[in-house]
Amino acid sequence: MFQHPFHLRGKTVLVTGASSGIGRSVAIECARAGARIILTGRDQARLDGTLAELDGVGHVGVVADLTVAEQSARLVAAAGGLDGVVHAAGIDGLSPVRMLRQSFMQTVLDANFMAPMLLTQQLLATKALRNGASIVFLSSIAAHTGTAGVGPYSASKAALEGMMRCLALEIAPRAMRANALAPGMVDTPLVNGDRDWLDQKAAMYPLGLGRPEDVAYAAIYLLADVSRKVTGTQLHLDGGIPWT
């Protein structure tokens, strides 16, 4: 019988930021693809809501703020053996440079860069990631384009991609892979407070705004064995928006 190659059956996948938005969609779609999900977020009620949406059995929710070392370590201990990770947790970081404060810049870097990288370090150090595991970081086209006022966010995602490429080489001997997804604007609760503004932005995208499931499907590709030769790269999901 033909077995479709785009599946995650038999895999355990950790999804951060799973209580809303892209992370929530990634958890739901990965479960539909057959994975057992370890999901984490900072809000117990919303995390429970995601957990209730997952197909299959054996899923585990762990409340954790990944910028807090002790909580990140607790997540690692609860995760057990993993075949994949999707680092979807993060925050926006909007500030023109002339108004930038060091404390704000550090907050953005802690959430969008330090937290996923240090969690990855812990997963590797404790051997929680099995040979052949796939690590997926959620980046952004903001790492490749210039937009006034988006500097802190852009910097955090550019740092993430830069370190991801080095990580990919370090983990290759264990047949592990590291990649990033770089979507354009995605219609999530993080951005959809002002519909008029969002509609104006949507007009800039030839293929329209992204949806959370668009990113989730791309994550499934990078987690699945079908992409076993793809590493150290970023997949752009930019809807065809001109970069210049």
Contact 113, 159 (CB under 8 A): yes
Contact 180, 234 (CB under 8 A): yes
157 tagged catalytic: yes
140 tagged catalytic: yes
Measured distance CA(42)–CA(45) in Å, rounded = 9
36 bridge partner residues: 12
Contact 129, 138 (CB under 8 A): no
For the chain, the distance separating the N- and C-terminal CA atoms, rounded to the nearest angstrom, is 48
235 bridge partner residues: 181
Selecting among 20, 25, 72, 153, the annotated active-site residue is 153
Selecting among 19, 134, 139, 140, the annotated active-site residue is 140
Selecting among 157, 201, 217, 229, the annotated active-site residue is 157
Measured distance CA(87)–CA(165) in Å, rounded = 15
Residues marked active site are found at 140, 153, 157
